[in-house]
Amino acid sequence: MILFEMANIIQEDSGLPMIIYISPKSVGLSPRVRVQKDYSSNISTDLFSITIENRPKVIGDTGEIKKSDIKLVKDWVKINTKLLTDYWTGKEHSTRKVLNELIKLSNMDAKKRKQADRKLVEERLMDASFVITSVSREDLIREEIGFTREQALAVTDEQMRKIASKLADDYVNQLFWSSLKVIAESVTSEE
């Protein structure tokens, strides 16, 4: 990636001891920030990456950067994950807005960092999805549906996706919410 495609976040803006670079999505790469391999305040092209995810990972040689400072970058990524991800995916287009909304690490003491980590975990728990069911061509040949095996085999994948989508919409519109309430109350009251 060329440096002018990235926004640099200097030490005083991030609260980190090195310059960080953020950018919109790069073809073929997973979400990541780039980290300068030294503690200089001069812009450099000598960088390594840290992934933007629940457990950020280092990609590449970290140069002069100490392990304790890499942990700080990972903490910074964790508390800014949503904003960094939105920028990476293009959901947020304004570099200025992103730079203004990033949480500076030094503004957070250890207690606030733990609270932010807990909030992230809670958000991920709330957003976790669990598959309810699926539909297959095998389902089409059930007696109550009435397709023959040959008819079921002739249904294209696109048609199956459309059937699944319409079935999901129908289920949500008719039974989902009332069934969810009854079943969730029943399961959570079991010992």
Are 40 and 112 found together in one domain? yes
Can you give the pTM of this predicted structure? 0.56
**191 residues of the chain, pLDDT tens digit each:** 444 478 899 988 888 999 999 988 876 788 999 999 999 999 888 999 999 988 899 999 999 999 989 999 998 999 899 999 999 988 888 888 888 888 887 655 566 666 766 776 677 677 667 777 888 999 999 988 999 999 999 999 999 989 988 888 888 888 888 888 888 888 888 86
Give 11's contacts (C-beta < 8 A, 6+ positions apart): 17, 18, 19, 41
Residue 62 in contact with residue 70, Cβ under 8 Å? yes
Residue 45 lies in a domain: yes
Residue span of the structural domain in which 150 resides: 137-189
Q: How many Å apart are CA 156 and CA 20, to the nearest integer?
A: 48
Residue 132 lies in a domain: no
Per 3-state DSSP, the chain is made up of helix, strand and coil in percentages (nearest 5) of: 50, 10, 40
Rounded to a whole number, what is the distance in angstroms from the first to the last CA of the chain? 55
Residue 60 lies in a domain: yes
Are 37 and 95 found together in one domain? yes
Closest by Cα among 10, 14, 12, 6 to 32:
6
Residue 183 lies in a domain: yes
- Assign 13 to helix, strand or coil: helix
Q: Which of 127, 155, 172 is the last residue of a domain?
A: 127
Are 85 and 43 found together in one domain? yes
Longest dimension (CA), the chain: 72
Are 81 and 148 found together in one domain? no
Residue 28 lies in a domain: yes
Number of domains observed in the structure of the chain: 2
